[in-house]
Structure 1
Amino acid sequence: MEDRKKLISRALLLVMGITFVLYYQKEDDLDYFVLHQCNEETGLCSGNCTLGWDGPTCSRRNVAFNQSTTQSSDYSEKGFNFTSGLAVDGRTALQLLSEPYTCTHTTNDLPASWTVTLDAQYNIYRFRIYNRNDSDCPGPCGKRLNGFSLSVGNSSQSYKICYQDNTTAGKGPGDIINGVCNVSGPVFGNTVNISINTSKSLTLCEVQIFVCAPGTYGPECGRRCGNCAQGPSACNTTSGHCPQRTPRCMEGYSGLKCDTECRNNTWGKDCQETCGNCYNKTECNAVTGECPLATGNPRCDLGYTGTDCVKEAQISPGRKVDPAYIGGGVAAAVVLITIVVVVVMVTVS
């Protein structure tokens, strides 16, 4: 009986432990588990990212997830309308008629198009499209996406093409299209449009538009921004460069990414300040400009004073001189006297 109690207690503890590590989340009837484990040194996630996030460090956000969408028309089959919102529901199945239905479908429009409106304006550069890959069409269904274009716009300007597909034959641009803007570079806006300019239907099984979380940059958003003067979240999410302003970097740093520490007796924002006359040309503090004060050594070279050793010292009569300099002078005098005595003794002998 006692052993049975112990077994039950251990089982309960195990369940409690798993509950702390895992949480159950339900989003639009899509059930999944999310494992929260992040390497403290590398930032890599050992489990799946929360729905709507992506990348090895789970710091790349899919800003299209569950956002407002429209398309040129809705195709219906088996009493079901394949509406535009199915492309941002988080499901990535590639078959149109696999249940639950998760792909959009228009009728034969010219042009056939699909649009998502984001919750804010972003620098759009990287995206992923899940293309239909079943064989229920006349020929491979995936080739209907041949020659598609992806454009970015907002309420104050017309659409600007970000990506143009050049596929003309075969089975299409691929089942999963991982792309970046190949026409214009990053485009700032809050609406993304995908269209085909031929008289055929447009099917999208999932569309993901990626932006980096604040303070990160790079293809997978796995790199940390430097020490920008406007804050780490101000860096360019593609290059990591801090805004070209004066100053660009926080105290103690310089460079385009503000990740280079001040060297060669420089300090301050953008390393534009020069260190004072620190004792024995020691490097000053890169942030404050203060000269270090080591045990047994003065802070400044002879003739200078202050924490930054910039101000010239005025040694007036009766003023005490730094003991370190006195000690150094006495030592030098002793050495000199010893040399003189030795020379005299050698000469006399």
Structure 2
Amino acid sequence: MSKCSDYRFGDQCDIECRCKDRQEVCDKRTGQCDSGCEDGWTGLDCQTQCEDYFYGEQCSSRCGHCRDNATCNNTSGECPDGCEPGWQGMTCDQECSDYRFGDQCDIECRCKDRQEVCDKRTGQCDSGCEDGWTGLDCQTPCQDGTYGFNCTGRCGRCQGGQPCDKIGGECQTCAPGFKPPFCQECEDYFYGEQCSSRCGHCRDNATCNNTSGECPDGCEPGWQGMTCDQECSDYRFGDQCDIECRCKDRQEVCDKRTGQCDSGCEDGWTGLDCQTPCQDGTYGFNCTGRCGRCQGGQPCDKIGGECQTCAPGFKPPFCQECEDYFYGEQCSSRCGHCRDNATCNNTSGECPDGCEPGWQGMTCDQECSDYRFGDQCDIECRCKDRQEVCDKRTGQCDSGCEDGWTGLDCQTPCQDGTYGFNCTGRCGRCQGGQPCDKIGGECQTCAPGFKPPFCQECEDYFYGEQCSSRCGHCRDNATCNNTSGECPDGCEPGWQGMTCDQEAVFALGISAPTG
């Protein structure tokens, strides 16, 4: 009998070796292997398959958690239809990692308590499902219209009936009048079933009750009614609409919240709401008037400002001003010498149109200083006698005016052509008709033929009205009379006539006259 070929054994050499070492040639009679049996097989000849639920070397490994309790592959240990829920791995012997469950361990737990490890087969959570999910395995999202823990929350009034967020319950947009994000309540300042009614005027801008519309602390000033939506009636204002307006214009309707009046407060009242009477010492429109000096410090009338009696020196009925011709804080000072007997300013004592001539000072109670006179005492006296003090009102001088000046007050310069004391001097014949000096009478330049400086007389050797005639031949070269032209001592020999301008004619044997 021939020997079996390698890797076969038995009577007919028809049984294949199942050695662990695939290179080993088993015993050709018994099939025994030195390296042991191939995984999944056992027995002396390694021809017996592993029992169900066992696999591997010497069939010593137990199958993992195969689906439907199936036995695994006796060689590899793989489960034919996969693992039981809660298990994973090639041989289904590895439990799902924490926070995962199911056939492939690919489903995430959704427990309320994020630290809880759910059941790795069912996904069930002892703490209940995460908000927004339900079902035994917490993998079913809440139905539309519900949200939150175990889907027990009910969505608010989302815009257009859209579902709210299944976890937190928020709406993307609320129906009009509802408050985001949950749309469960009316927005602030709205109320009613549909949140369509607007709150009235609640105190401190509070929002009203979202069901009834009532204000928690009552109405804003100027409003009334259960929902504070009725304005105060005209001419009334305030928290209860029970305060009467006090406007300057009695036809004006005051601000129904504050009582404020565009026309200002009624005389005798002040404050934003015109409800505060004027303080003592004040009166009138907005209490801007100040009482005068009432007798004994009594307050004046708060509407018109009249005193019952004035303090001494003050003018009734308002006692605001001094009586005429008195001034000062106490009206005890008498006015000075005001022009036209006017009364002075009752505060400062100043005269409205200045002082009477001869007086000066802010209150016109100071006489002009010596040598000055007039309204402002700023005019200098011009008396002939320089030591004389002129009249301090008129400027008149007993000694008459200084040369070159005239008039009652000696302030008028002599007219052209006159000069000297009281302007009684008459100028001579100044060149070109120019006026002479008004004090001394001198001309700057005389007309031809006249003698400077006064130009009153002809120059020597000239005479006549215009001093244009030349003197004749006067004896001893004397000048002639400047009016008539006559020579004072007669003519030079050989000349004759009244003005010595005629040559003498000598008869035979007769001498020429000598005079």
TM-score, normalising length: structure 1 = 0.33
Higher helix proportion, which one? 1
Determine which structure has greater relative contact order: mean sequence separation of CA pairs < 8 Å that are 6+ residues apart, divided by chain length: 1
Higher strand proportion, which one? 1
TM-score, normalising length: structure 2 = 0.24
The structure number with the bigger radius of gyration is 2
